[in-house]
Structures are given as structure tokens and as C-alpha cells.
Chain A
Amino acid sequence: MSLTNEIVQQTLSQEFTPKVENFHIEHDMLAFEVKKEASFEVINFLKENPEMNFNFLTDVCGIHYPDYEKERQFCVVYHLHNWYDNVRVRIKVFLPADNPEIESIVSLFAAANWQERETYDFYGIIFKNHPQLKRILNMDEMKSFPLRKEFPLEDQGRTDKDDRFFGRTGPNC
């Protein structure tokens, strides 16, 4: 019998509750949350278990939720894909604001290497045991993490723009 979202949900709940929770289907994709201590375990299970067989890591990215509670400010999202049964799954791992650390999955999927570096570059999320966790897209000397919500989009050091002509006031930029 081929894999379906229900089977994935059932198997994961059986194996890993209470570390996995909040299963829901969004636009035909099963999405759930995993506690940060168990993220490597769960992804390893999804990859190695012969029934689950999620052989492809589609995407790793980060999100910053400044409005959530302090324990859930950062989120790392993994998209996995099982090519044989054509099932996709989205795993969200919430991280606290003061210590956004998570285990790296480079040993499982080599594709995660640069994607985790990009997430570190943009959000400052530390991936433990990553072979080379340094900035990738921004300049190496940069101190701040630009995709956090408090970081402004535009270069604040510019003197040649007159904001009056752009209808810009402080919070508008």
C-alpha cells in the first residue's frame, strides 16, 4: 500500500509523541512541528525507515516570528519529499530567541550544507556539527542577521535619498 499523509502522521505519532505535534494538512501537504531536540532523529527516521522512505531534501529555510512567545521566535522549516510514493512533508522546528541552536542534518543530506549556511547567514540560527558554518551570501564581515524582522531593508547609511519625495516617514521605510 503506498504511503499517504495519514500513514505518515500515524507512524510519526506512534514513534515520536510527544516530540511531534500539531499535524495539519495545508494545501495537500502534511505539516507538523517537531521539538528541537528531536529534529535530527525524526528526519533520520523519515529518511531511513523503509516505509517512510523520504529520500530527498527539497528545502531548508528559516523564519523569524518576533510576535510569538520567546520560546518560538525562530523557526527552521524542512521540506522533505518521497519520490517513490510522491509524498511531501513540511517539518517546522521552533527555536527560542536567546539560543537558536539546532542539530545540523548535513550528515543525512549533503544538500543541507549551503542551505543551513544561508539560514545562519540570514537569521543567526546555529546549526550544531555543521562542517562549515560561516556566512555565504552576505559579506563575511557583516555583524547583523539581515532577514530578521527588525533589520531594515534599505541601507540606512545613504545620504543621497530625500525621503520626503518618497512619502516616507519613520515606520514606513
Chain B
Amino acid sequence: MSNSSNIKQVAPPAGYAGEGFFATKLSEVVGLARANSMWPLPFATSCCGIEYMATMAATYDIGRFGSERMSFSPRQADMLLVMGTIAKKMAPILRQVYEQMAEPKWVVAVGACASTGGVFDTYSVLQGIDKVIPVDVYVPGCPPRPEQILDGILELQEIVKNESVRRRSSQEYKDLLNSYNIK
């Protein structure tokens, strides 16, 4: 163990500690648990997918942030990482994969193409996946460095930690899904 001073210790959530127990709000615990074990669905379509492969590999290792198991099945995934250009031909499939994911689910648009269409302002490319599904975090870059992708995932983890447990049944969330015509 090192005594280095640049190790940041995460503060525990506000709560009441005693001998062998720690009492805090349920939402804090749920938030911590969800944030630190986000299983991604790597929806890798193009070049950003290769940078994701580098993020998965040993040098940048996304596993240390809780994303050890890549779930290629939408049913078992928490976050949908859309990496790469989505063409209009692919958009219904993206939509279907998103709908198959179980709540709670989050979406990260990795790369310029997924965020806004990127360099490809053409008739066949969807100009941003937020045209078909709601997105939580946008990671810009073409392709973004693995550190940027990890930054995006850390950003998402902050969102997840602080999300209310009631959010998924709230009217606001329902309105959001309705605006995309997602049942």
C-alpha cells in the first residue's frame, strides 16, 4: 500500500456509523451499488469501437470501474454504449436494443458520430442518436481517447449515484420516453 498523497479517498455517504454497522439512506446505497457495477452493452459500430476495445484491454481497463462483464445481451446490461456512426438503416435496430434493456438503463453516446452525426452530414447517417433514444452522457471525440471514454463513464457514474430511486416511475421520465414514442 502506498502512502502517496495523490490518492483521493471517496467520502462515505452521509449516515450514522457505529460498531459494525453503518446506517444511511436507501437511495445512497442503491446509487452506490448501481454506479459501481455498470454492465455495458458495447454497441460498437465503427472506429470508436476500436478505441473501446483499447479501453477494455489491459492498459486502460474499464473493468476496474465496475464494467467487468460486457453484456452483449440487452436484457442483462445497464448501460448502452453507442460507439460509432449510426446510419438510418441501423436506427430501428438501435431503438429495438434500447427497448429490450431492462430499467434502470442509461445511454452513453461515445464519439462525435453518435452524438451529432460527426463528420458525416449525409443523407444516410442519423445525425445523433438522441433523435431516436434518450441519451445521458455525450462523449465527444473522433475517436475519443480511452481516457475520455472512461471520463464519460465516470460522469455517468456520478449521475447514477445521485439519481433518485423514484425517477423511473416519475412523470418526467414518462414524458421523456413519450417524446421518443417509446412505450
Q: Do A and B touch (CB < 8 Å)?
A: yes
Q: Report if A146 contacts B (CB, 8 A).
A: yes
In the complex, how many angstroms separate the beta carbon of A153 from the nearest chain B beta carbon?
A: 6
In angstroms, Cα B173 to Cα A102, docked, is: 56
In the complex, how many angstroms separate the beta carbon of A128 from the nearest chain B beta carbon?
A: 27
Q: Which residue of B lies closest to A154 (CB)?
A: B121
User: Could you say which residues of chain B place their CB within 8 Å of the CB of A138?
Assistant: 89, 124
Indicate whether A153 sits within 8 Å of B123 (C-beta atoms), given known contacts A138-B89, A139-B88, A139-B89: yes
Looking at the complex, which one of B88, B122, B127 makes contact with A153 (CB distance below 8 Å)? B122
Whether the Cβ atoms of B123 and A155 lie closer than 8 Å is yes
In angstroms, Cα B140 to Cα A137, docked, is: 27
In angstroms, Cα B122 to Cα A153, docked, is: 5
**Number of A-B residue pairs having CB atoms within 8 Å of each other in the complex:** 22
User: Could you say which residues of chain A place their CB within 8 Å of the CB of B123?
Assistant: 146, 151-156
Q: Report if A143 contacts B (CB, 8 A).
A: no
Per-residue contact bits, chain A 146-166, to B (CB 8 Å; 1 contact, 0 not): 100001111110101000000
| Number of residues of chain A lying within 8 A (CB) of chain B | 11
In angstroms, Cα B91 to Cα A155, docked, is: 15
Whether the Cβ atoms of A158 and B127 lie closer than 8 Å is yes
Q: Which residue of B lies closest to A153 (CB)?
A: B122
In angstroms, Cα B99 to Cα A74, docked, is: 44
In angstroms, Cα B123 to Cα A151, docked, is: 10
In the complex, how many angstroms separate the beta carbon of B98 from the nearest chain A beta carbon?
A: 20
Looking at the complex, which one of A139, A154, A160 makes contact with B122 (CB distance below 8 Å)? A154
**Which residues of chain B from 107 to 135 have a CB within 8 Å of any chain A CB?**
121-124, 127
Instruction: For the A-B complex with A138-B124, A151-B123, A156-B123 known, give 10 more contacts whose Cβ atoms are closer than 8 Å.
Output: A138-B89, A139-B89, A146-B123, A152-B123, A153-B121, A153-B123, A154-B123, A155-B122, A158-B127, A160-B127
Binding site for A on B (CB under 8 A): 88-89, 121-124, 127
